Structure 1
Amino acid sequence: MHPTTELYGRGVYRFLLTRQWVILTLVALLLIPTMIRLGVWQLHRHDHRQALNKVIDDSLAAQPVSAESLTSVGGSVRHEDLYRRVTAKGRFDTAHELVVRRRTSTDDQVGYHVLTPFVLDDGRTLLVNRGWIPSPGSQTAFPKIPAPTEGEITVTGRLMQDETTAASGIKNVKGLPDRQIMLINSGQIGTLLRNGDDGSAKDVLGGYIELTSPAPKGGSPELIPSPKEDSSWIGLGDINLPYAVQWWLFAAAVPIGWVILVRREARERSRRTEERHEEPAPAAVG
């Protein structure tokens, strides 16, 4: 029998019972399901993104409808109505205009979004995000905002859900300067306006719209761009599916790597054992 075969038969893999290898094996066994679950989580995020892209594409392709038909006072915007093009007739109430802090422009400059109440013909109020303006030198003073069209007009915009900290990751900081907010939330803004003696704020429609027309004179505020159409199977800018595949490849690599390490250790131990057996016996002293 070959010496190496004999050594394997004698239990060269007994080193797997040592403390070091037991710990290494347990770590490998824990990593595999953990990485698989992380891949599944990324796949779920990919599926959610794809579903949202379909909602957005369908909404932008649909004909505009009245904002009042898709939202109500104190209500909420349904997921399937996100980005739906809507119209509303009324007038802007610039006296109660607000700005939303820490919002970026199309070229990633930090500034404000301009949120202007739009009073409908029936007296209810629709919140309209008129777009982005740069930050002034002072972070406490209310910025100078270009005025919208005066008088009664019809606006068109994309319907959006109320922002929350949980969904957006934006912390709702308290103690901000007057008429400055962090989140566009119709319930919170309605309370804020009522505390400021705005009688019309008692009937604020849920959600808000991102203005698309009429376009502002001089291009300011800068209108929020429409989401890009996404017909790719992965998803435009979607990194979740590649991450899912990456985690699963890592999970597959763990047992392969473990086997490679075990075989390498076994060969090394066999080589050292063979060398000890092949050492010549010391010469006898006569």
Structure 2
Amino acid sequence: MYRFLLSPRWLGALALTLVAAAVMVWLGNWQLDRYRGRTEINERIDAGERMAPAPLADAFRAPTGGPGTAGPAPAKDRVWTRVTATGRYDPSNTVLVRGRTVDSRVGFEVLTPLVLADGSALLVDRGWIPPAPGGATAQPSVPTPPGGDVTVNGRVHETESGAGTVDRRDGRLETRRIAVSRLARELPYPVYGGYLLLDEQTPPADAVFNAVPVGHTNNWQNFGYVVQWWLFAAMALFGYGWVARREARRAAGLDKATAPLDRAAEPTPSASA
């Protein structure tokens, strides 16, 4: 009954079906890897909320270059963990990051270098503040950080993708993306290869700052894509088998084609009926 499957047409259809199913399974596996990776990130975010701050050296290798250079990026398994560091803020090199949204409002995140005892600096995202009256890009009035030694606790954040530009506007550094290596070129000391989202500091931070929220990744979307691609693969194989079986039954005379209904040949009911 199934000898027709060895014909060139059906062998070609089988090869195409197998290739399509294999590609769909591969896409499902790729999305599964992304689901696992995003799940791991979410677990680190949750763990970071509960953990006691670790020393800065647990997450970062200190920069070894000269002024204007950035050190190595934090290890992937240390991103979103909490660390602590002590140093002195350098308000003269504060960076305003424009176009940042918190609670559906557009404003600025404020990065201020924390200069450590060895002369290197860690960029600390002190929080979000609204723009000055006049529009979303109007530079805000930034509170001066505490003088003297400051101890900060916060979440490790890796540098953002996209180099962007760093400009000086009204004497302040301003950018759209927190690209640490690009920002480091504008600073007079070596800089750690990531930055810190501030949770708390001693002395306390100014109340005008809003904490930058840490959002979880949408890992369940990737899991949905896994199920979708694997179902498509199963449907492709099932569809080939169903068509082949229908063809075999038709060739064996088990399924006879039904003649189309000719309604024109049906008797017309009389008007008196």
Q: Which whole-Å CA distance do the structure 1 matches of 2:29 and 2:90 have between them?
A: 48
| CA-CA distance at 1:38 after TM superposition | 0.5
Residues 165-204 of structure 1 mapped to structure 2, 5 A cutoff: 165=161, 171-174=162-165, 176=167, 178=169, 179-193=173-187, 201-204=188-191
Q: CA deviation at 1:149?
A: 3.3
Are 2:206 and 1:212 equivalent residues in the alignment?
A: no
Indicate if the aligned counterparts of 2:87 and 2:115 stay in contact, CA closer than 8 A. Answer: yes
Quote the residue 1:196 is aligned against.
none
* Cα 1:239–1:99 shift into 2, 3 Å: same
TM superposition score normalised by structure 1: 0.69
Candidates 21, 40, 50, aligned match of 1:51: 40
Tell me whether 1:64 sits opposite 2:53 in the alignment: yes
Matched, 1:103 2:97: no
3-state SS of 1:221 partner: coil
Q: Distance between the aligned counterparts of 2:164 and 2:156, measured in 1?
A: 25
In structure 2, distance between residues paired with 1:267 and 1:143 = 78
Describe the shift of the 1:177–1:119 C-alpha distance in structure 2 as closer, same or farther (beyond 3 A): closer
Q: How far has the Cα of 1:246 moved from its partner?
A: 1.8
Could you tell me which runs of 5 or more consecutive residues in structure 1 were left unpaired when the two chains were aligned: 1-7, 166-170, 194-200, 229-234, 276-286
Alignment-derived partner of residue 154 in structure 1: 151
In 2, the alpha carbon distance for the partners of 1:82 and 1:174 equals 24
TM-score by length of 2: 0.71
How much has 1:267 moved relative to structure 2? 4.5
What amino acid sits opposite 1:173 in the alignment? Answer: G
Once the two structures are TM-superposed, the CA of residue 180 in structure 1 deviates from its matched residue by 1.7
Structure 2 counterpart SS, 1:42: helix
Matches within 5 A, 1:1-286: 25-68=14-57, 70-71=59-60, 72-73=62-63, 74-105=71-102, 107-135=103-131, 137-138=134-135, 142-163=139-160, 165=161, 171-174=162-165, 176=167, 178=169, 179-193=173-187, 201-214=188-201, 216-218=205-207, 220-226=208-214, 237-263=219-245, 267=250, 271-272=256-257
Paired letter, 2:178: I
Question: Secondary structure at 1:95's aligned position in 2?
Answer: helix
CA distance in 1, matches of 2:11, 2:165: 53
- Equivalent pairs, count: 242
Structure having the larger proportion of residues in helix: 1
Unaligned stretches of 5+ residues in structure 2? 64-70, 260-273
Q: List per-residue Cα deviations over 1:26-70 (Å, max 9, x = no partner).
A: 543332111000010011112222333344444444322332554
What secondary structure does 2:229 align onto?
helix
Where 1:205 maps in the other structure, the secondary structure is: strand
Letter in structure 2 aligned against 1:41: W
Are the equivalent residues in 2 in contact too, given 1:145–1:221 (CA < 8 A)? no
The 2-side partners of 1:50 and 1:175 are apart by: 33
- The aligned residue for residue 284 of structure 1 is none
Which residue does the alignment assign to 2:67? none
SS in 2 for 1:155: strand
